[in-house]
Each structure stands twice: as C-alpha cells, then as structure tokens.
Amino acid sequence: MFACIHGPDANRLADSFSPFVEMVDEKTAVFSITRRQIRQAESLPHPVAVAATAEAAILAARNLPGYTFIAPGQEARVLGTLSIDALPPDPELFETFHLWGIRSLEDLARLPQDDLAARLGDRGLWLQRLARGAFERPLCPRIPATVYEESAELEHPIKLREPLLFLIARFLHDLTARLKSQSLAAAALHLTLNGNQRRHGLPFPTRDVKLLLKLVEHSLERQPPDAPVAKVRLELIPTEPRRVQHGLFTPAAPEPEKLELTLGKIRGLVGEKNVGYPELFDTHRPGSARPATGRSYLSFRYFRPPLEARVSAERLWTRMFQGKILQIAGPWRSSGDWWQPDTWNRDEYDLALSDGALYRIYLDRAPKKWFVEGVYD
C-alpha cells in the first residue's frame, strides 16, 4: 500500500512514517505504508490518501479532502468523480477530451482501450490508466548523499600534537575504509578543530592514509590550534578514484604523493604565499614565466599506440575503460606535412570523464575514427 500527504509540511510528516519518501512536489509526499501505520495516518491534519498504487494515492490526496482509504479494486469508483483536470496537464489531449464531452475521470475510464490507443496513442492510454487508478510504478525516493565524517567531543582537551594526530589517524583509517568499500576516493579533506575549519584540497583523488595524515600534520605545524582541542570533526569529500596506465618499458614518473608532501614541507618553511607553480605567458620568448599560487599544470602520459574509441554526445568507450563525459574542451584542429604519405589532419579534445580522469582524444579526419591519445596525471 502507498500513502500520500498533501500539505505545506508533507515532507516532515512523511519522514515520520518511512525513510524512503518521494517528493512529487513541494507539498506532495508519497511513501510505502504498512497496515499498522494506516491508523496513524487517519489523524494527520492534511489531506491523506491510502491506495494500492502510488498514482491513485496522489490523485486522491490532491483532490479529496480529509482522509481517504481506497480499497484494492475500488480505485476507478473513488476517483471517477474527480474532474478531468485532476490529471497531469496536457492541453492538446484535454482539448480533445472537451470535444468528446469527457468531463470526469469516470468518463475517460469507460472509453474502449483499443479505440483510445488508435486515436490518442500511448499518452492517452497512460492518462486512462491514471484515471482508473491502475497505473503501477515503483517509488523514486530521495536518497540523502552519504557523508563521510567522524567527530569526537573530548572530556579532556588535547594540548599536544601527537595525541591529536593519533585521533585523526583513527578517523582517517575508518573513513578511507568506507570509501574503499564503495570504490571511491577523497577529493578534499575538511578538518574542524574547536569550530574552526581547515580545508585541504587534494591535487588528486586518494585513499592513502599516510599521505592524508602527513598533510594534516604539515597544516598543524604551519598553523597550530589557538587553544587545546576539545572538539574534532573530520570529513572526506568523495569522488571517483584516480586511474593511471603505466607503461611496461617507460621509466616511472615521480609519485605525485611524494611531490605533494614535499610541497607541504616547503610551504611550512617559507610560507604559503611563497610557493607556487610556473605560469607561462602567451609568447615564445625564452624564459618568460612567473610564479602562480594555487595552480598546477598536469603531466601527460601517451598511450602507445593510441586507443581506438567510440564517442557519443554523452559517453566514451574503449577496450580499457569507459565513462560518462562530464566536461569537454575543444576542438583544436591541426594538420601538416600534406606533401608526405603520413600527413595528419585531426581535431583534438580534452574530456573529463566520470571515472575522475582527464583524457585527450582526437578525431582522425582521414579515416574518420576516434582515438584516445593519453591521460593527464
């Protein structure tokens, strides 16, 4: 059975019956209800309807006053008195119903299905099933986003850094284990000490506890807490994990974890404002660059040979990976050596996929094929 509440605080009332509630609109909430809970629904201050289908309960709660219980098989009889305007609006079909003299849901429910389908198609049949209360569908409940956080209020405030790091390390072990169980990684770390929040954006998704703990340690060294810590809250922001292809015959590049820890130590020595990345000017003049804080340039790993791909407006497929396209930049068109057999003529794009990686793809215009050239680290 399904129950529907129609009123200004329907969301709050529905939450007291079930954790899985579908909000049809701001004032209409529908949820599954047990026989034991039906009596509780009778005393609610807003229009409430209970029926065997969710759509029948929604129609009754929106259009009938007080409490309405529709026994299985009685949907068409109870809903038949409602005006045709109670159905989801469809101006074109409603104009046709007006010309046919259909004024109520009972009038629509009596029409022959085959003739209705021949004249109005699937949309007309769907409205007729709604009018009969016979349209069955599962709920689409809102599912709150999972929050990966741990917190503690201490009876005796912590004055030293080592016991504080020991507590944070325990939080990190638990949170990264939860992330790993759901195939996720951390994109940022938020640490709150006595109500003061520190935000640490990570240069890449990771579940490395040692790296995260070291970043927190460097932060505490640069900026110690103002007072003994009595409240600790740690939150990891989830994202897709990083996936990198390593070559068999190419030397491994320096691990980005070690680079980030080194930069953290340097920031602690010389200050946050004195550490940056080289930013190039739009010129060919040698040595034309300046330091820029908070911005890093990605390294690029080539696939040898490039991976043949299939690309649509929303997804990318290869034999090694696939994903939904979240962002796209391009095209950058290039061509050259037209006088040689191995001339090139292609359009390049940068794609951010749902797997958390950034790829470069190109369309080879001669054979009209897509390829993935490499991935940014």
For the stretch 41-90, pLDDT in tens is 877 888 888 888 888 989 888 888 888 888 888 888 888 888 888 888 88
Q: Say whether both 283 and 262 belong to one domain.
A: yes
* Residue 247 within a domain: no
Q: Give the chain's mean pLDDT.
A: 82
Cis before residue 305, ω within 30 degrees of 0? Answer: yes
SS3 162: helix
Query: Is 305 a residue whose pLDDT tops 90?
Result: no
Q: Say whether both 285 and 309 belong to one domain.
A: no
Q: Say whether both 121 and 152 belong to one domain.
A: no
| Residue where one domain finishes, among candidates 292, 319, 336 | 292
Best-predicted range by mean pLDDT among 34-43, 188-197, 286-295?
188-197
Q: Say whether both 326 and 210 belong to one domain.
A: no
Query: Is 292 a residue whose pLDDT tops 80?
Result: no
Q: Say whether both 183 and 226 belong to one domain.
A: yes
User: Structure tokens of 81?
Assistant: 């008195």
* Residue 160 within a domain: yes
pLDDT > 90: percent of the chain:
6
Query: Is 105 a residue whose pLDDT tops 80?
Result: yes
Assign 296 a pLDDT band (cuts: 50, 70, 90): low
Torsion of CA 350, 353, 357, 359, to 10 degrees: -30
Residue type (1 letter), 169 = A
| pLDDT value of position 173 | 93
Are 315 and 324 in contact, with CB atoms under 8 Å apart?
yes
Global confidence as pTM: 0.46
* Residue 206 within a domain: yes
* Residue 97 within a domain: yes
Q: Say whether both 45 and 118 belong to one domain.
A: yes
Are 343 and 364 in contact, with CB atoms under 8 Å apart?
no
Helix 161-181, helix 209-222: angle, nearest 10: 150
* Residue 248 within a domain: no
| Residue where one domain finishes, among candidates 97, 132, 167 | 132
Residue type (1 letter), 287 = G
Assign 321 a pLDDT band (cuts: 50, 70, 90): confident
Q: Say whether both 273 and 315 belong to one domain.
A: no
Q: How many CB atoms lie within 10 A of CB 318?
A: 19
Question: Which of 23-32, 111-120, 134-143, 205-214 has the least mean pLDDT?
Answer: 134-143
**Span 168-186, pLDDT tens digits:** 999 999 999 998 888 888 8
Q: Say whether both 314 and 193 belong to one domain.
A: no
The number of folded domains in the chain is 4
Of the candidates 175, 183, 187, the one whose C-alpha atom is nearest the C-alpha of residue 233 is 175
State the Cα–Cα distance between residues 44 and 57, nearest whole angstrom.
15
* Residue 153 within a domain: yes
* Residue 220 within a domain: yes
Q: Say whether both 233 and 313 belong to one domain.
A: no
* Residue 249 within a domain: no
Query: Is 104 a residue whose pLDDT tops 70?
Result: yes
Q: Say whether both 216 and 333 belong to one domain.
A: no
Q: Say whether both 329 and 368 belong to one domain.
A: yes
| Residue where one domain finishes, among candidates 78, 100, 132 | 132
Residue type (1 letter), 22 = E
The three-state (H, E, C) secondary structure of 26-39, written as one string: CCEEEEECCHHHHH
Task: Please state the rounded mean pLDDT for residues 324-328.
Answer: 88
Q: Looking at residue 217, which CATH number applies to its domain? A: 3.30.1490.100
Q: Say whether both 177 and 219 belong to one domain.
A: yes
Q: Looking at residue 47, which CATH number applies to its domain? A: 1.10.150.20
Query: Is 204 a residue whose pLDDT tops 70?
Result: yes
| pLDDT value of position 73 | 86
Q: By residue range, what is the domain housing residue 177?
A: 148-239
**Span 235-283, pLDDT tens digits:** 999 988 876 666 666 556 556 666 666 767 777 777 766 766 666 666 6
